[in-house]
Amino acid sequence: MVPSPSNPQQIQQFLSSVLSQRGPNSVPYDESTKWLIRQHLLNLISSYPSLEPKTATFMHNDGRSVNLLQADGTIPMPYHGVTYNIPVIIWLLESYPRHPPCVYVNPTADMIIKRPHAHVTPSGLVSLPYLQNWVYPSSNLVDLVSDLGAAFALDPPLYSRRRPVPSPTPSPSYDRPMTPADQSLSRPFPPSPYGRVQVQQHVHHQHQQQQSDDAAEVYKRNAINKMVEMVHGDLVSMRRDREAEAESLLSLQGGLKRREEEINRGLKEMVEEKETLEQQLQIISMNTDVLDSWVRENQGKTKTLVDVVDVDKVFECVDTLSKQMLECTALDLAIEDAVYALDKSFQDGVVPFDQYLRNVRLLSREQFFHRATGSKVRAAQMEAQVHAIAGRLHS
């Protein structure tokens, strides 16, 4: 357990150090809520200086242990005109402040928990409507402690252990079931002596209360209790309205965040599309410049090339195999065109059937030889390329 300092400045430094710590010993709170946790604890210590922020190991029901923040100390509880101090521990679990804290009544050695109690289990776990109706981010620790004090004032959760009365014969000091005689002996003890108030003060206060407990005092207490209930009801109604308003604002905030994400995503896509179009435009501009340059260079050569250049000699083959391949391909395509022309003439009735068959047979035979020659030339070219590549690798 790491206790916090006592003055406000050291408390702020302590909380800032704990919430900014990294590593295996750091507190497991969400980064987006650490500032709000710090503010909740600072407001709590400012309103209730008897509580101190600390870090300690919390053991879950499934056996997991985790280092968490807690507010340890006492909270004031007015009861029959006297303010008592109730020892409590407020654990800020991993999901805080989106979910409520875990509150325990922490009785001292001379205190016991009242059984049964409407809001406190025998183990000390506190259950209040404020905890059950916790709403993020409006709910906070200051309102929680105020609600705890009001609830405990109506039904105190702790009693002091009955101390044994000295007698000539020894008797055990542990608690036992109380008989009517025991109850009469225990009347001088107050019903709920909390905190650091001494037993003598409680006994004196009990005698004074029994002497002044007349009809007017009873009426006054009833009126005060009725007023407290009315104020508590008004506070609950106001809190419910504020929670509904906060819920609507949170819903609106969520919608705005979704729209912001959609706008950012659309803007990002538009920027990417703009960059792509600019790149394509740059490529097109470069290609246009190249074509313009080529046109300017060759614009005056067109007229002279038509008269001087032989079309059949425009393309020159690099070797004999390429020249032979070009001739075979040209003859194959020429025969293909001749056969197509014969088919057209036969359909139009220009060429007789027997002459059509004879010419097609001759042309097909010749085309077959040209295609076979082309296949052999292609194989020879592939083999020559393989030898050339192997020669370059060895060299």
Helix spans in 177-214 (H):
180-186, 199-212
Q: What is the pLDDT of residue 295?
A: 85
Candidates 192, 235, 207; CA nearest to 87 is: 192
91 backbone dihedrals φ, ψ, rounded to 5°: -90, 130
Element (H, E) at 115: none
The rounded distance, in Å, linking the Cα atoms of 157 and 97 is 26
Q: What is the pLDDT of residue 214?
A: 63
C-alpha dist (Å) from residue 178 to 14, 104, 193: 48, 27, 18
Quickly count: other Cβ atoms within 10 Å of residue 289's Cβ.
Answer: 10
* Half-sphere CA count of 263, side-chain side, radius 13 A: 6
Buried b / exposed e across 198-213, counting CB within 10 Å, b at 16+? eeeebeebbeeeeeee
341 backbone dihedrals φ, ψ, rounded to 5°: -65, -40
Bin 316: left if φ > 0, else alpha if -120 < ψ < 50, else beta: beta
Q: CA angle, 28 as apex, 92 and 17 as ends, to 5°?
A: 85
Element (H, E) at 288: helix 215-298
Candidates 19, 16, 15, 88; CA nearest to 48 is: 88
Q: Which residues of the chain have pLDDT under 50?
A: 1-4, 167-208, 211-212
C-alpha dist (Å) from residue 286 to 274, 278, 289: 18, 12, 5
Q: What is the pLDDT of residue 305?
A: 60
The rounded distance, in Å, linking the Cα atoms of 319 and 97 is 85
Q: Reading across the β-sheet that carries 102-105, which strands appear in turn?
A: 2-3, 51-59, 65-79, 82-92, 102-105
Q: What is the pLDDT of residue 314?
A: 67
Candidates 372, 364, 383; CA nearest to 325 is: 372
Handedness of CA 360, 364, 367, 369 (dihedral sign): negative
DSSP string, 342-381: HHHHHHHTSS-HHHHHHHHHHHHHHHHHHHHHHHHHHHHH
C-alpha dist (Å) from residue 91 to 17, 19, 163: 18, 15, 32
Q: What is the pLDDT of residue 104?
A: 94
Q: What is the pLDDT of residue 108?
A: 87
The rounded distance, in Å, linking the Cα atoms of 69 and 39 is 13
Buried b / exposed e across 131-169, counting CB within 10 Å, b at 16+? beebbbebbebebbbbbbbbbbbeebbbbbbeeeeeeee
Instruction: Give me the residues paired with residue 125 across strands.
Output: 104
Q: Both tokens of residue 164?
A: 């044994």
Q: Both tokens of residue 48?
A: 């209730």
Q: What is the pLDDT of residue 31?
A: 85
Q: What is the pLDDT of residue 308?
A: 61
The rounded distance, in Å, linking the Cα atoms of 5 and 14 is 7
Q: What is the pLDDT of residue 377?
A: 92
Residue 80 near residue 209, CB atoms below 8 Å: yes
pLDDT in tens, 228-280: 888 988 998 898 898 888 888 888 988 899 999 999 999 999 999 999 999 99
